[in-house]
Chains A and B, each alone.
Chain A
């Protein structure tokens, strides 16, 4: 039958209506799920470091209101009272979010993490003091592993449903009917799906024989290995201290390495790889579901990344590099005995400077494992194959940066702001500088870490007492990867020499 003009018109009307409907659908979908609103400006770069987006909200942002109510719905899965603060996060007075959390609207408000989650620390001179927050310091109080586990445990819990979450959410905010329905039927189910999937993504660290990260540590190279390369689970474990990341300019130069076992030869590479690890690039969500919906989302992501986000990301990384390079290390806040420190200086020059003074022959360089003698586990987690695959992966994002490498060693970092970098050694197995100058047998075998009251006598954080026991995490040097052996330099010094050296180290 030939189409009559009337039929033609009908078809045309139907097409126009369909096009309008589709256009509305696209606009609505963009408005409610993809529209990005820039964060309000920050007063300075330090604020931006603590609360600014690194672009992870798109991929790994948790819907803000779900994030807010989770600790209230799942108190039994929390380590203790205090909401997210019970994970040891640094939460500045009056701030909406803990340090290291960025809030950004991508369709709807989302919360993601940034570098400050692991790299902003706090200290107090006494329990009554308001904590001093230091940007670039290790977040030695934060139990990131516990927080990750909390999120996917709650998502896998039968209580993670709209019926349970919505009343909590809607007593905090009067959502419009549309937003309420979107939360109920789209956002909550989607968040559950993606958060729950992380259980499998992190299965490697949940194996019962794997040591816990504890406060102020993670397993950096295994995280990189499993999430950047997708390699199969192996038996390595490499729990390591969060490093300080201030004053990065002294870490820059040919032949200088970063990461505890010289895994990366350039500051920019470390910054980029860490940000990618937090979900800044597409498809970088651990174990993102690969069904149709997941694949569609992935394709949209890639488009977005190529068009806009990559340029934004590279620019953000450059700015962060500049900021961290010039960020001064914090000054020792307690009195220093200048005379004693002066006596310590020649000891430092003679015994430490070659490996720890910026610009010297072996500073920021690989030190063979046999020579340093510290716990080997961390060095064994990273392998050449992982480095190669990770490099390829980063290239696939269209990012050009110096390649990661594999060297069998530990790196010898400069000691700027060393007073706030306790506990010491790559695995944080020695609580104070005084302890580090003790022979291995005399170093504490068990101590609490993650308590932020400072001990100016031993130079490190307080590791005992009821408050440290309550808020801290018990480090046991007999656990695999947590050993406090090695780096026995200076242990032979006389007591007064040690005191002088430690006094001098306070000035760095």
Chain B
């Protein structure tokens, strides 16, 4: 029986060499020959390799004996590429005659290749490949009759290849284990305002839906657009609103652009000098516009609305001109919208379990420690009533380096800045498995050293009066609140004052419990150096440094006192009701103007100190003028009016 190519695959390497050695060079072949790569001959995988090579890489060679040239047929489609010269020559193997196929002069990619072939049977050439002059695999080129249908082979190979390529593409694009790619920003401040902390991976709203919702469900918003919830839009270079507000970040996960909140949504605020004046944005300042509760309720209302179906959302998306490619449209239609609904419904169930029991927070306030309770999925129905209300003011977050080691959060329940940051990042949807560590580190670093409070507008401080206030402040306040707006030294700065001494509303204190602290110990347990271990139950509120205090109005942990000057009055003389959310500043009393109920149809939040959790008592001297604090410290409410004025004036320099 004559040799054929499939027999080569069963022979050993040595046998092939032997066969090659004893065969004549033969005629120069001519025409199209079918190629077979012979890798690891004699083993079971030779067949597999030959098959793979044939189908995907190399189908054979086309010889032109007259011109002494050949060209290979490569890839699944038999593309003619990679030329070589063909000429009789001496073999590098045994020095005898053979036909040499040389790529070195004709091909760039295959220049290190030299093939030698000899005719081992009529129309069947066995070849040896030399790479960089070293013998490598064998191959054969057959001009024997090959019954396989070349056309169907190409179709099938092509289809298989296309399917594999598509599968690889989809596997990469839809990989559920991939954390995606965030939109990044050159400046740290922009990163703070718009950079992603990773929350989009789990909580992200598809960008096109985010843009569609306020238009589609305009009736569920209190006013025009997301602005009516307190979101702040900066202008782009063309003077138009940017597409996303401050505090909303974007990340492409599984090929879909998704957005969610970041730190800046709660920690960027605005000030106007006059109602007609320009609105100045202060980064790191507690948000005085954002009504997170209303935003949550808006999202919740959307997903339980009958209009929230994939088809309707997609139709509205088209109507308002938000485009996605076909694959993403399919994903939105069949997966993403449904998933957004189920995720949001879960949040809805859990969040309503506490926000429905609490008085409305209004802008600039949030319940900080009920979210961890629902994150742990505590059975909230069994929560004792004293824990129900945890509403507190959003804090400023500048100058963090100087706060390291202080008791952070209003009740001072944590002394680690990093841990506090990771805890707050839960609010941006970032879980231990999805937190974007480098992004977090960048923001944390910026907050630590770069973020500073903006100064009180020059010319609006009575320098002489402030100078009078300085010694008063030093005497009465500095031990608890730091020497100045930049020097935070003082025996009690960053430490907790017992609730019996501070006397402020205790709801926020009681909302945080040892139960929460215990469970927080399990957070980030998969990453030992990040595991939470600093949370403690305290029994009071922490004394804070007063850097940029003018921007931190209204005052006290629950934002129950509109201005600094009011804070220096005994509780009974502080405003019992006022409005929050108006950003025009009262430069005399230091705080926002709080008697304006609405502006251009936008109502502000009526704050009633009689409501549970909103109490404005405390941080005051006793009625007889004595102070519960160690002498000479005092809260200052019993000082003469001119001294109070002087202290407030001095605080404006912070």
What residues make up the interface of A, taking CB atoms closer than 8 Å to B? 13, 68, 71-73, 75-76, 78, 80-86, 91, 93-98, 128, 130-131, 170-174, 177, 470
Which residue on chain B has the smallest CB distance to residue A86?
Answer: B515
Check B525 against A96 for contact (C-beta < 8 Å).
yes
**Cα–Cα, bound, A170→B384 (Å):** 31
Enumerate chain A residues within 8 angstroms of B43, measured Cβ to Cβ. 13
The reply to whether B539 and A95 form a contact with Cβ atoms under 8 Å apart is no
Docked-complex contact B379 and A75, CB < 8 angstroms: yes
Query: Are A171 and B432 interface neighbours, CB within 8 A?
Result: yes
Contact at A68–B377, with CB atoms within 8 Å? Answer: no
A80→B376 CA distance, assembly (Å): 12
What is the CB-to-nearest-CB distance from A180 to chain B, in angstroms, rounded to a whole number? 8
Which residues of chain A have C-beta atoms less than 8 A from B377's C-beta? 71-73, 75
Q: List 25 A-B contacts (CB under 8 A).
A: A76-B379, A80-B378, A81-B379, A81-B382, A82-B378, A82-B518, A82-B519, A83-B378, A83-B519, A84-B518, A86-B515, A91-B514, A91-B518, A94-B534, A94-B535, A94-B536, A96-B522, A96-B533, A130-B536, A131-B514, A170-B433, A171-B431, A172-B433, A173-B526, A177-B177
Question: How many Å from the CB of A319 to the closest CB on chain B?
Answer: 26
Q: What CA separation (Å) do A94 and B414 show in the bound complex?
A: 10
- CB atoms of B433 and A171 under 8 A apart: yes
Residues of B within 8 A of A171 (CB): 202, 431-434
Q: How far is the CA of A494 from the CA of B51 in the complex (A)?
A: 103
| Chain B residue contacts of A84, Cβ below 8 A | 518-519
Is the C-beta of B155 less than 8 angstroms from some C-beta in chain A?
A: no
Instruction: Across the interface, name the chain A residue whose C-beta is closest to B533.
Output: A94
In the bound complex, do residue B379 and residue A96 qualify as a contact, i.e. CB atoms below 8 Å apart? no
With A172-B432, A173-B526 known to touch, is A83 a contact of B515 (CB < 8 Å)? Answer: yes
Question: Quick one: which of B373-399 are within 8 Å of A by CB?
Answer: 373, 375-380, 382-384
Shortest Cβ distance from B179 into chain A, in angstroms? 8
Complex: A76 Cα to B536 Cα, angstroms? 27
The complex places the Cα of A93 from the Cα of B414 at a distance, in Å, of 11
Bound-state Cα–Cα, A95 to B516, Å: 13
Residues of B within 8 A of A83 (CB): 376, 378, 515, 518-519, 522
Within 8 A of A (CB), among B529-565: 531, 533-537, 539
Q: Check if B521 is an interface residue, CB within 8 A of chain A.
A: yes
Q: Which residues of chain B are near A80, meaning CB under 8 Å?
A: 378-379, 382
Minimum distance in angstroms from B241 CB to a CB of chain A = 34
Count of B interface residues, CB-CB < 8 Å: 36
Contact of B517 with A by CB under 8 A: yes
Residues of chain A within 8 A of B202, CB atoms compared: 171
User: Nearest Cβ distance between residue A101 and chain B, in whole angstroms?
Assistant: 11
Instruction: Say yes or no: A85 contacts B432, CB within 8 Å.
Output: no
> Smallest Cβ distance from A204 to chain B, in angstroms?
28
Docked pose: A10 CA to B454 CA in angstroms: 80
In the assembled complex, which residues on chain B have CB atoms less than 8 Å from the CB atom of A97?
521
Within 8 Å by CB of A81, from B380, B521, B536, lies B380
**Contact assessment for A91 and B379 in the assembled complex, using a CB-CB cutoff below 8 Å:** no
Given A91-B518, A93-B517, answer yes or no on A172-B525 (Cβ-Cβ < 8 Å): yes
Smallest beta-carbon distance A37→chain B, Å: 13
> Which residue of B376, B382, B531 contacts A71 across the interface (Cβ within 8 Å)?
B376
Per a CB cutoff under 8 Å, which of B375, B515, B522 touches A82?
A: B515
B44 contact set on A, CB distance < 8 A: 13
B residues in contact with A75, CB < 8 Å: 377-379
Inter-chain contacts of A130 with B (CB < 8 A): 514, 536-537
The answer for the CA separation of A97 and B533 in the assembled complex, in Å, is 11
Of the listed residues B376, B434, B531, the one surrounded by the most CB atoms of chain A closer than 10 A to its CB is B376
If A171-B202, A171-B433 touch, does A81 touch B518 (CB 8 Å cutoff)?
no
B433 touches A81 (CB 8 A): no
Question: B384: which of A95, A98, A131, A470 is its contact (CB, 8 Å)?
Answer: A470
Shortest Cβ distance from B413 into chain A, in angstroms?
Answer: 11
CA distance A339 to B37 in the complex (A): 103
A129 to chain B minimum Cβ distance, whole angstroms, is 8
Q: Give the docked Cα–Cα distance between A78 and B378 (Å).
A: 9
* A72 & B433 in contact (Cβ 8 Å cutoff): no
Residues of A within 8 A of B434 (CB): 171, 174
Interface centre among A72, A80, A81, A174 (most CB of B within 10 A): A81
Besides A75-B378, A82-B519, A174-B177, 18 more A-B contacts (Cβ < 8 Å) are: A68-B522, A82-B513, A82-B515, A83-B519, A84-B518, A91-B514, A93-B517, A94-B521, A94-B534, A94-B536, A95-B521, A96-B533, A97-B521, A128-B539, A130-B514, A130-B536, A174-B526, A470-B384
Q: How far is the CA of A78 from the CA of B379 in the complex (A)?
A: 8
A27-B516 Cα distance, complex, nearest whole Å:
41
Instruction: Provide the bound-state CA to CA distance between A418 and B544, in Å.
Output: 44
A96 to B534 alpha-carbon distance, docked (Å)? 11
> Nearest 9 pairs between A and B by C-beta?
A82-B515, A81-B378, A173-B526, A91-B518, A94-B533, A171-B431, A72-B377, A75-B379, A83-B519
* Chain A residue nearest in CB terms to B518: A91
Which of A73, A82, A91, A173 lies at the interface centre, i.e. has the most chain B CB atoms within 10 A of its CB?
A: A82
Chain B residues in 8 Å Cβ range of A94: 521, 533-536
Give the residue name and chain of the A residue nearest to B10 (CB): A6
- B residues within 8 A CB of A85? 514-515, 518-519
Name the residue in B516, B517, B518, B531 with the highest tally of chain A Cβ atoms < 10 Å from its Cβ. Answer: B518
Closest Cβ neighbor of A171 among chain B residues: B431
Give the shortest distance, in Å, between A177 (CB) and chain B (any CB). Answer: 7
With CB as the reference atom, state the residue of chain A lying closest to B523.
A172
- Minimum Cβ distance to chain B for residue A356 (Å): 35
Closest to B384 in A: A470
Q: How far is the CA of A172 from the CA of B522 in the complex (A)?
A: 9
Residues of A within 8 A of B517 (CB): 93
Closest to B527 in A: A173
Q: Give the CA-CA distance A80 to B514 in the complex, in Å.
A: 14
Measured between beta carbons, the chain A residues less than 8 angstroms from B382 are 80-81
Q: Which of B177, B521, B533 contacts A91 (CB 8 A)?
A: B521
- In the complex formed, the residue of B with least CB distance to A174 is B433
Query: Would you list which residues of chain B between 421 and 442 have a CB under 8 Å from chain A?
Result: 431-434
- Output the nearest chain B residue to A126 by Cβ-Cβ distance: B539
Q: How far is the CA of A177 from the CA of B171 in the complex (A)?
A: 14
Q: In the complex, A97 Cα to B382 Cα: how many Å? A: 23
| B residues in contact with A73, CB < 8 Å | 377
B 494-526 contacts with A by CB, 8 A: 513-519, 521-522, 525-526
Instruction: For the complex, give the distance between the alpha carbons of A73 and B379 in Å.
Output: 11
Q: Mark B182-203, 1 if CB is under 8 A from A, else 0.
A: 0000000000000000000010
In the complex, how many angstroms separate the beta carbon of B461 from the nearest chain A beta carbon? 42
Q: Which of A13, A73, A172 has the most CB of B within 10 A?
A: A172
The listed residue with most B CB atoms (<10 A of its CB), out of A83, A84, A173, A174, is: A83
Q: How far is the CA of A85 from the CA of B434 in the complex (A)?
A: 27
Contact among B177, B375, B432, B531 with A96 in the assembled complex (CB-CB below 8 Å): B531
Known contacts A80-B379, A96-B531, A130-B537, A173 near B433 by CB under 8 Å: yes
Residues in A with CB closer than 8 Å to B533 are 94-96
Q: How far is the CA of A94 from the CA of B519 in the complex (A)?
A: 10
Instruction: Please give me the residue from chain A that is nearest to B522 by CB atom.
Output: A68
The residues in B between 582 and 606 inclusive whose CB is less than 8 angstroms from any CB of A are none
Determine the distance from Cα of A172 to Cα of B202 in the docked complex, in whole angstroms: 12
CA distance A368 to B64 in the complex (A): 113
Specify which chain B residues have a CB less than 8 angstroms from the CB of A128 in the assembled complex.
Answer: 539
List A contacts of B383 (CB < 8 A).
81
Kindly state the separation between the CA atoms of A478 and B134 in the bound complex, as whole angstroms.
95
Bound CA–CA A81/B376 (angstroms): 9
Is there contact, CB below 8 Å, between B373 and A81?
Answer: yes
Q: Are B522 and A81 in contact, CB atoms less than 8 angstroms apart? A: no
Shortest CB–CB separation between residue B565 and chain A, in angstroms? 33
Task: Evaluate contact between B525 and A68: CB separation under 8 angstroms.
Answer: yes
Complex contacts, B432 vs chain A, CB 8 Å: 171-173
Complex Cα–Cα for A171 and B432 (A): 6
Q: Residue of A at shortest CB range from B517?
A: A93
For the complex formed, measure the closest distance between the CB of B261 and the CB atoms of chain A, giving whole angstroms: 17
Closest chain B residue, CB of each to CB of A172: B432
Closest residue of B by beta carbon distance from A103:
B525
